[in-house]
Amino acid sequence: MRVFVKIGIVLGVVALVASCQNKSTPNYQYMPDMYEPVGYETYQETRAFRNGKEGQLPVEGTIARGHKPYDYPNTLEGYNEAKLNLKNPTDSVTAVSEDYLKNGEELFNIYCAVCHGDKGDGQGVLAEREKILGVPSYDDAGRAITEGSVYHVIRYGLNAMGSYANQLNEEERWQVTEYVMTLKEDLENK
Amino acid sequence: MASHYEAPIREPLVNGEKSYHDVTVDVAAPVEGRANKQWWIVFSIALAAFLWGVGCIIYTISTGIGVWGLNKTIGWAWDITNFVWWVGIGHAGTLISAVLLLFRQKWRMAVNRSAEAMTIFSVIQAGLFPIIHMGRPWLAYWVLPIPNQFGSLWVNFNSPLLWDVFAISTYLSVSLVFWWTGLLPDFAMIRDRAVKPFQKKIYSLLSFGWTGRAKDWQRFEEVSLVLAGLATPLVLSVHTIVSFDFATSVVAGWHSTIYPPYFVAGAIFSGFAMVLTLLIIMRKVSNLEAYITRVHVEYMNKVILLTGGIVSVAYITEFFIAWYSGSNYEDYTYLSIGAATGPYWWAFWALIICNFIVPQTLWIKKLRRNFAWSFIVSIIINIGMWFERFDIIVINLSKGHLPSSWSMFSPTFVDVGIFIGTIGFFFVLFLLYARTFPVIAQAEVKTILKSSGERYKRLREEGTSLAGAAADQRTALKPVAAKAPSGKTEIDKEKQSQLLNTIGAFDPETDQADDLKKINGIGPVMEKTLNQIGIYKYEQVSKMSENEYDLLDAITGAFPGRAQRDDWAGQAKNLIN
């Protein structure tokens, strides 16, 4: 019987100690030797920089290796120019393969379909639920979108649509663009 | 004539015509007496050294291993040197108590208790080093294969350092159990002699209720033999495993198949030296000259001579193989600037002189029977064996395969301080032990008293009978006469009959009277009173309960409640059993 009392005491102490954990704060740590980084982690707060953020802006006009600057300005003239002249720089006959479009589809369904709809008809979930109104269909004759204008809009955004340059890199933007063009074709041929 | 044949050539192992009672008194004296001034002085010095060592350890752990003199080339130096040294010292104790038991060496009985204590205390010192030499000792528990939250990440069982963990911890626990079982009869002896209640309580707890029945003794002997049989391979394997730390490496000078037996021999060598150092002092300080005699010292010196010889042969073998192997690195380590003539020449020659040359003086009988010389040699050997480990570790590391990483080692005060601290800790433990534990296994010594005691050897030589020779006037029991109650008038007849009704009457015609004085709390006067009432037997006493105690108190009128407090009934029950 006494043995049970002793076991009970030990379990009680363990329960007591375990109850010290507070779910709303990080738990206790035993000897956190290399838990906290010595170097700067990407999104961490730090007083070492001006605005307290680790992520500092690069100097204007610098070009990172593997990137090209986008020459069309974010203006109406830039838009029109891109609409007329801008073409997919990848060799569209051989490089725009099924995989290429498949990637474009996947990215489209992640970033675009929520407003534009799976088919590009402007009937995305948010439009259906009337959170956002006035999403046009890709076959809207008045807009007559082209490869260049789609890319330009993804890059800069237009009116209610924001820029997706942060989410998608150059290749991904072109993949989405190509996929949007196939959607437009599908809508027109219906 | 005595029926027992003991070769007359054997010298007595217990001097001074001791009787059983003398053994008891002599062994119990340091425990029952008070520490003298010298003890306190030595204890204070040891304690100070220990505390200094604790300070150094805390400094190391809180600041980092960099406070030691280690460098990138020599990553092991004083830490592992001291570890191997202490483990080695610890080996003599188990050797004395286990191997010598298997070989039926009777002379071990006077030295085994202290030798085992030395084992345990030095293994504790050794056990400190694997922990404190870690860079992150607070994660030391990771060396144990415990199921955990890292996907049950386990240890790699291929490392001799892990085997060390198992070897040392097993060695310590087995030694501790072996030591403690041997202590039970001796603790019981002190318990039974204790006069102060606190002492009595403590030794009752320590002795685990040892009563010394025939069955107990039979099992005790069996356990001792089994443990000795287990401890013997353990002694050999533990230091073998310690030697694997080096022998399994690729370091020239370490990678050697001779290490396991050579390390074990060295361990016994240094361990016996330490036993000698301690016992030569202890026999004087604790007045145990009659038990730890010149013969014991001589026998231990012979073991030292033997193991020292083995170690010396190993040195020669190492040198021969270094030359014979044709390996430039081996040759370099041992023969060219490496050991004997390199920057560590002093450590090398200290080793040769202390381990190889000085112990050879023990071939001379006069010197090996000389206490002072044995003492000096034993200390020299321990210095030499420290250097042996230091040389193996540091010299071989300092000049490895790449000349660009050759380096020297010099210890810092923290290295030295921790070593001094462990010496202090060892002596703190040993001094406390010497004052609280029966330092001689009196139960065992009593078994050889009649065969190897000086008095009995003399009687046998004279051809006289040993019958009655064991009697000691102070302890010989006088037969208890069963007298009829004298019928004193003070005894309340009514209460007496009431009492005797429940516990049973004593019939002097058929029954035998017991010695009631064996019950704690019953002295000669009380016994007489009980006899007057009609209580002669344990059986009667054992039947007493609260009611009877009250009746008894009412009849005797002396010490009310005494019988109940001492639990006479329970004691009597034990005595019947």
Condensed to tens digits (0 to 9), the pLDDT of residues B387-431 reads 999 988 998 888 888 889 888 999 999 999 999 999 999 999 999
What's the Cα-to-Cα distance from A142 to each of A71, A119, A136, A137, A145, rounded to whole Å?
Answer: 26, 19, 10, 10, 9
Please tell me the least confidently modeled range out of B33-47, B197-211, B292-306, B513-527.
Answer: B513-527
* Phi (first) and psi of residue B453, to 5 degrees: -70, 145
Q: Measured between CA atoms, how close is B143 to chain A, in angstroms?
A: 17
Closest by CA to B27, choosing from B444, B440, B434, is: B440
Chain B residue closest in CA terms to A34: B136
Rounded mean pLDDT of B170-196? Answer: 91
> What letter does residue B340 receive in the DSSP assignment?
T
CA distance B227 to chain A (A): 29
Q: Give CA–CA dist A1/B317, Å, rounded.
A: 63
- Cβ B329 vs Cβ B252: under 8 Å: yes
Contacts of B516 (CB under 8 A, 6+ apart): B522, B526, B527, B530, B531, B535, B536, B538, B541
Question: B488 vs A5, B168, B530, CA distance in Å?
Answer: 53, 68, 12
User: What pLDDT was estimated at residue B1?
Assistant: 44
Q: How many CA atoms lie within 13 A of B526 on its CB side?
A: 19
- In this prediction, residue B337 has a pLDDT band, given cuts at 50, 70 and 90, of low
Nearest CA in chain B to A31: B138
Cα of A32 to nearest chain B Cα, Å: 11
Is B57 in contact with B128 (CB distance < 8 Å)?
A: yes
pLDDT band for position A70 (50/70/90)? confident
- What is the nearest CA distance from B136 to chain A, expressed in angstroms? 9
CA distances from B361 to B304, B350, B365, B377, B378 (A): 11, 16, 9, 9, 12
Chain A closest-CA separation from residue B138 CA (Å): 8
Amino acid, single-letter form, for residue A1: M
φ/ψ (deg, to 5) at B70:
-70, 155
User: Among all residues of chain A, which has the CA nearest to that of B137?
Assistant: A31
What integer is the mean pLDDT of B9-31?
86
Residue B530's pLDDT is 79
What whole-number distance in Å separates Cα of residue B382 and Cα of residue B271? Answer: 8
Alpha helices in B399-468 (DSSP H): 413-436, 442-452, 454-462
Chain mean pLDDT for chain B: 86
Do residues B234 and B174 touch, judged by C-beta distance below 8 A?
Answer: yes
Contact B23, B445 (CB under 8 A): yes
Q: How many CB atoms lie within 10 A of CB B25?
A: 16
State whether residue B319 is helix, strand or coil: helix
Chain B residues in contact with A34 by the CB 8 A cut-off are: none
Integer-rounded Cα radius of gyration of chain B = 30
| Cα of B297 vs its chain's centroid, Å | 17
* Shortest distance, CA A22 to any CA of chain B (angstroms): 20
**The pair of three-digit structure tokens given for residue B37, joined into one six-digit string:** 């001034």
DSSP A149-182: HHHHHHHH-BTTBPP-TTTS-HHHHHHHHHHHHH
CB atoms within 10 A of CB A1: 4
Nearest to B555 by CA among B532, B523, B527, B571: B532
Say how far apart CA B348 and CA B234 lie, in whole Å.
30
Does residue B505 carry a pLDDT above 80?
Answer: no
Contacts of A33 in chain B (CB under 8 A): 136
Which tokens go with B22?
């003398």
**Contact (CB, 8 A) for B234 and B97:** no
**pLDDT > 70 in chain B, percent:** 94
DSSP track, B464-502 = ---TTTT--TTTPPPPPP-PPP---TTS-HHHHHHHHHH
Q: What is the pTM of this model?
A: 0.79
Average pLDDT (B189-195) is 89
Distance from the Cα of A87 to chain B's closest Cα (Å) equals 53
Residues of B with CB under 8 A from a CB of A: 136, 138-139
Q: Give the DSSP letter string of B84-128.
A: HHHHHHHHHHHIIIIIHHHTT-GGGGGTHHHHHHHHHHHHHHHHH
Q: ipTM of this predicted complex? A: 0.74
A16 inside 8 A of chain B by CB: no
Which pLDDT belongs to residue B376? Answer: 94
Residues B562-577: tens digit of each pLDDT: 777 777 777 777 777 6
| Closest-approach residue (CA) in chain A for B139 | A31
The predicted structure's pLDDT at residue B477: 63
Q: Which residues of A touch B139 (CB under 8 A)?
A: 31
What is the nearest CA distance from B67 to chain A, expressed in angstroms? 19
Whether B252 has a pLDDT exceeding 90, the answer reads: no
Sign of CA pseudo-dihedral A105, A106, A107, A111 = positive
pLDDT average, residue stretch B515-531? 78
pLDDT digits (tens, 9 = 90+) for A38-61: 999 889 998 888 888 888 899 998
Q: What is the pLDDT of residue B577?
A: 65
Residues 6+ apart with CB under 8 A from B56: B413, B414, B417, B418, B421
Which of the given ranges, A15-29, B186-200, B547-561, has the highest pLDDT on average?
A: B186-200
Q: What is the mean pLDDT of residues A168-177?
A: 89
Of the ranges A170-179, B4-13, B21-30, B110-119, which one carries the lowest mean pLDDT score? B4-13
Name residue, tokens 């020239």.
B252
A124, two tokens: 């995305």
Question: How long, in residues, is chain A?
Answer: 190
**CB of A129 closer than 8 Å to CB of A117:** no
Helices (H) and strands (E) in chain A, counts: 8, 0
Which pLDDT score is estimated for B487?
A: 47
Contact in structure between B23 and B189 (CB atoms under 8 Å): no
Tokens 């009937």 belong to residue: A123
Residue A162, Cβ density class (10 Å: 0-12 exposed, 13-18 middle, ≥19 buried): exposed
The confidence band for B546, taking pLDDT boundaries of 50, 70 and 90, is confident
> Which chain A residues are within 8 Å of B138, Cβ to Cβ?
30-31
Report whether B576 contacts B569 (CB < 8 A). Answer: no
Q: In the A/B pair of chains, how many CB contacts fall below 8 A?
A: 5
Average the pLDDT over A52-72 and give the result.
Answer: 89
CA distance to B108, B472, B524, per residue, from B477 (Å): 31, 9, 13
Nearest CA in chain B to A33: B136
Cβ-based contacts of A31 with chain B (< 8 Å): 136, 138-139
Q: pLDDT at residue B489 above 70?
A: no
Q: How close, in Å, is residue B537 to chain A by CA atoms?
A: 35
The answer to whether residue B531 scores a pLDDT higher than 60 is yes
| CA atoms of B81 and B415, how far apart (whole Å) | 11
Residue A34, chain B, CB below 8 Å: the answer is no
Q: In this predicted structure, which of B71-80, B205-214, B368-377, B446-455 has the lowest mean pLDDT? A: B446-455
The pLDDT value given to residue A99 = 83
Question: Which residues in chain A have Cβ-Cβ distances shorter than 8 Å to B148?
Answer: none
Asked if B91 and B264 count as a contact pair (C-beta separation under 8 A), the reply is: yes
Residue in chain A lying closest to B138 (CA):
A31
Whether chain B has a CB inside 8 Å of the CB on A31: the answer is: yes
Dihedral in degrees, nearest 10, Cα atoms B122, B127, B128, B133: 130
Dihedral of alpha carbons B144, B146, B152, B157, sign: positive
- pLDDT score at B553: 77
Kindly state the average pLDDT of the residues B207-221. Answer: 92
In degrees and rounded to multiples of 5, residue A161 shows phi and psi of -90, 135
pLDDT band at B475 (very low <50, low <70, confident <90, very high): low
The answer to whether A33 faces chain B, any CB pair under 8 Å, is yes
Residues of B in contact with A30 (CB under 8 A): 138
Are B456 and B450 in contact by the 8 Å Cβ rule? The answer is yes
Tell me which chain A residues have a C-beta less than 8 angstroms from the C-beta of B136.
31, 33
